């Protein structure tokens, strides 16, 4: 992207980026290599820590540091994402996980899906105070205006990601379409409030340009980066994603029921419809659903194992290196922004 002009927003200035593209944390899918490659390409990548132990997260962060060629002790231009209800399970382990962010000078944390994220935000702020270094920036993902108002006015976080109901992976069953929720949140954000970014169902640079013209500081693309060479998706999962059309991306609690994952009330997930969803909708016995799902997941059989995907999946037809995805999105966004500026009619 060396010869291409950069795009400047408040987000790119805050994080020192060339392009306002964020690859979000994706549990079991975004490790250290993907996050680092996105950041190297001029965007910003998050490791999805999910159910990771401190040892596993340490390995992932060290991998990112190696790819980024950052010396130990120097700031690391990636983030790590945590899921609130998983952090709540063990305070001691979670504090160990979060302390790694200070140890490795990770630039940002992303929190979502908690019953109450406030204690964890407070803990990160305490870590920031003790470290004396540049603060770890706090991103929070929200699925409603109410959640956004809490993050903006009470928690006063640095960046709020507005997740539309189109988003792949977990999200709110009560969510709203991105083009409705994002303007609602922007209209309720004070001028000195957090930066607002958005995502859910995005697949190409024209949609990124649309978000920027709405007033967002950046765009978040998850499913698109599942189809990078560096994601942790299996070949079978990539094949499903490449072949899927958007109507196969459905919101469901089937996989949470089958996997026994206790996400908070109102949270479900968006994935490609398969036999697990069909069986759940038919009301099959839960023990049978779980057994079939466990066996399929162990074998990587996508007829029943989960393949998370947002509604943009039907527009995605190619696996590319993450760097190429960032370059393509950036160039298309630039071109659309230029076209839009030509729409002005001078009489």
CA terminus-to-terminus distance, the chain: 37
User: Alpha-carbon distance 273 to 185, whole Å?
Assistant: 31
For the CB of residue 84, give the shortest distance to ligand FMN in the complex, in Å.
Answer: 9
User: Alpha-carbon distance 160 to 193, whole Å?
Assistant: 10
- 77 contributes a contact to ligand FMN by CB under 6 A: no
Which of 113, 280 has the CB closer to ligand FMN?
113
- 25 contributes a contact to ligand FMN by CB under 6 A: yes
For the CB of residue 309, give the shortest distance to ligand FMN in the complex, in Å.
Answer: 6
CA distances from 37 to 16, 198, 232, 244, 338 (A): 15, 21, 13, 26, 27
Q: Which of 48, 77, 194, 218 binds ligand FMN (CB under 6 A)?
A: 48
Burial 232-246 (b: 16+ CB within 10 A, else e): ebeeebbebbeebeb
CA distances from 105 to 20, 49, 84, 119 (A): 21, 16, 21, 21
Strands of the 267-272 sheet, one edge to the other: 169-172, 267-272, 249-252
- 168 contributes a contact to ligand FMN by CB under 6 A: yes
- 83 contributes a contact to ligand FMN by CB under 6 A: yes
Site stretch for ligand FMN (CB under 6 A), options 21-29, 122-130, 145-153, 280-288: 21-29
Ramachandran angles phi, psi of 337, nearest 5°? -65, -40
- 223 contributes a contact to ligand FMN by CB under 6 A: yes
Site stretch for ligand FMN (CB under 6 A), options 20-28, 35-43, 210-218, 322-330: 20-28
- 163 contributes a contact to ligand FMN by CB under 6 A: yes
Q: Which of 42, 77, 81, 218 binds ligand FMN (CB under 6 A)?
A: 81
Provide the mask over 300-319, with x wherever binding to ligand FMN is found by CB under 6 A and - wherever it is not. Answer: --------x-x-x-------
Tally Cβ neighbours within 10 Å of residue 344. Answer: 6
- 141 contributes a contact to ligand FMN by CB under 6 A: yes
- 137 contributes a contact to ligand FMN by CB under 6 A: no
Going along 97-157, which residue ranges are E strands?
106-112, 137-142
Binding site for ligand FMN (CB under 6 A): 24-27, 29, 48, 50, 81, 83, 110, 112, 141, 163, 166-170, 199-202, 220-223, 226, 308, 310, 312
């Amino acid at each position: 992207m060396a010869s291409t002009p950069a795009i400047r927003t408040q987000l790119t200035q805050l994080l020192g980026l060339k392009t306002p593209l964020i690859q979000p944390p994706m549990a079991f899918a975004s490790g250290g290599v993907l996050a680092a490659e996105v950041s190297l390409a001029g965007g910003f990548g998050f490791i999805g820590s999910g159910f990771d132990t401190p040892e596993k997260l340490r390995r992932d962060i060290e991998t990112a540091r190696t790819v980024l060629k950052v010396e130990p002790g120097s700031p690391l231009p990636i983030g790590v994402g945590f899921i609130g209800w998983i952090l709540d399970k063990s305070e001691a382990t979670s504090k160990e996980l979060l302390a790694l962010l200070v140890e490795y000078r990770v630039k940002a944390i992303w929190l979502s899906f908690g019953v109450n994220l406030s204690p964890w935000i407070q803990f990160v702020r305490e870590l920031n105070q003790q470290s004396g270094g540049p603060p770890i920036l706090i991103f929070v993902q929200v699925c409603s205006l109410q959640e956004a108002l809490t993050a903006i006015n009470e928690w006063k976080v640095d960046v709020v990601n507005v997740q539309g109901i189109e988003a792949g992976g977990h999200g709110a069953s009560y969510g709203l379409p991105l083009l409705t929720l994002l303007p609602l949140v922007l209209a309720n954000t004070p001028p000195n409030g957090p930066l607002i970014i958005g995502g859910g169902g995005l697949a190409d640079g024209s949609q990124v340009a649309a978000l920027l013209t709405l007033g967002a500081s950046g765009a978040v693309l998850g499913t698109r980066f599942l189809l990078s060479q560096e994601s942790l998706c299996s070949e079978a999962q990539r094949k499903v994603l490449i072949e899927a059309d958007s109507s196969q991306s459905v919101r469901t609690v089937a996989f949470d029921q089958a996997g026994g994952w206790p996400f908070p009330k109102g949270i479900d997930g968006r994935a490609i419809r398969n036999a697990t969803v069909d069986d759940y909708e038919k009301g099959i016995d839960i023990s049978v659903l779980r057994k079939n799902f466990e066996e399929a997941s162990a074998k990587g059989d996508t007829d029943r194992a989960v393949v998370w995907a947002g509604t943009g999946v039907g527009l995605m037809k190619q696996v590319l290196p993450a760097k190429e995805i960032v370059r393509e999105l950036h160039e298309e966004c630039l071109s659309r922004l230029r076209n839009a500026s030509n729409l002005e009619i001078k009489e």
